[in-house]
Amino acid sequence: MNDAITPTRVIPAGTPLPTPQPDPGRTAPWYMQPPPPPTDLPPAPGPAAAPPPGPVEVRVTVDLAHPYTEPEPTRWDRLTTWLRRFGRPWQAIGGLLLAVVPVPWTGHSAVTTWAYTVDLARDIHLGYAYALALIPLALVARRILRHGGTLLRLWALAVTAIGGLAGAADWFDLITITTGVTR
């Protein structure tokens, strides 16, 4: 199978290829003769007359289809989405119950113990009580916002929120802050 190819003509690059001339009396084996035109058809019309020169007016009608957009979430959807961020409902209920149910061997809940501790700090100074109540509350809330709510984190939130503010806050503090009058 070592048949060498012998070129008969070399065409330089960039020059057009010559048009092939059919051999006289020979046709390609795949070529079929076209069928003869039907004779019962009327003659084809001549070329259409060109329009007169001048401006061309084009009218376009566009149907604007509005794409589907998501409906705006309702207030209830926003609230439930925000609440789900803090944990599952059973975790929130469990954390709250564990915070307010009394511990069997002490007779006091975690909330009342924390409220008593903050109240003792209030006897020393008002600022200590609010610092002891608000700093742990802020730390727990920050942890829940960053990492989500677990049963333990939601328990700590309930203890610091209810117990801390119950032990530190007093209605008379508003009068003391605004007027400076103490009891």
Q: Which two tokens stand for residue 167?
A: 């032990």
Q: What is the predicted pLDDT for the residue at 21?
A: 67
Closest CA to 130 of 178, 177, 86, 98: 177
- The answer to whether the CB of 111 falls within 8 A of the CB of 162 is yes
pLDDT band per the 50, 70, 90 thresholds, residue 1: low
pTM of the model: 0.52
pLDDT band per the 50, 70, 90 thresholds, residue 119: very high
Closest CA to 154 of 100, 94, 110: 94
